[in-house]
Structure 1
Amino acid sequence: MAFVYIIRSIKDDSFFIGKTFDLEQRLLYHNTVELNEGASKYGVPWKYFLTLEVKSYFLAGKLEKHLKEMQSTEYCMNLIKYPEISQKLIEKYS
């Protein structure tokens, strides 16, 4: 199984979207400035906002791309408010 995730910065309320096989290790990476060479190092500390478990890393990539294209605070909030949106996205890209 793979995961698509949205993390939210406790520091500045920004969002970061990604995919992984291991949620625990990925959050550790984002929150460890010494390891993190990407843009998310500026938002430390992070916490999970939303995680979606999907059947393949390929599908996770499709969903990640969609979420990044739609990236807005309102869209992310709606994913939490209306869980059926996430399910419909998984069905659409499966």
Structure 2
Amino acid sequence: MNEYYTYITCNSSKFTFYIGVTNNLNKRLSQHYEDSIKEKKSFAGKYNCYNLIYFEVFQNVDQAIAREKQLKKWSRAKKENLIRLKNPNLEFLSL
């Protein structure tokens, strides 16, 4: 059974959030980190958003994508409130 993740990463100061979808969270986080060191072409790379602070798991890719789109429309305050429900201190998560 496949798993898909809608996730939020941030930079070390927790100032900038990045929201994405993947079916391999560890690999995707590594890609964000590599992009921040090397090319800095993507948003996550340019703003060093490779620290995981929140994720949700879905069995259906369409649900994960829909959730990503929903979260991207939210205000920063609403996103922070969501994150704090599972991660009250906005700690960096490790897998």
> TM tier, shorter chain?
0.7 to 0.9
Q: Report the counterpart of residue 3 of structure 1 in structure 2.
A: 5
**Residue of structure 1 aligned with 2:77, choices 74, 78, 90:** 74
Match of 2:20 among 18, 21, 30: 18
Contact 1:11 1:45 in 2 (8 A): no
The share of aligned pairs that are identical, in percent, is 23
Q: CA deviation at 1:36?
A: 5.7
**TM-score (normalised: structure 2):** 0.75
Contact 1:7–1:16 at 8 Å: present in 2 too?
Answer: yes
Distance (Å, rounded) in 2 between the aligned partners of 1:61 and 1:48? 18
Q: Secondary structure at the match of 1:81?
A: helix
For residues 78-89 of structure 1, the aligned pairs below 5 Å read: 78-82=81-85
Deviation, 1:45, is: 5.4
State the 4+ residue runs in structure 1 displaced beyond 2 angstroms: 33-37, 80-83
**CA deviation vs aligned residue, 1:23-56 (integer Å, no higher than 9, x gap):** 1110111111236631111122521010100111
What is the TM-score normalised by the length of structure 1? 0.76
The 5-angstrom pairing of residues 55-70 of structure 1 reads 55-70=59-74
Letter of the aligned partner of 2:51 in structure 1? K
Unaligned runs of 5+ residues in structure 2 are 87-95
Q: Determine the structure 1 residue equivalent to 2:48.
A: 44
Asked whether the 8 Å contact 2:10–2:48 carries over to 1, the reply is no
| CA RMSD of superposed structures (Å) | 1.9
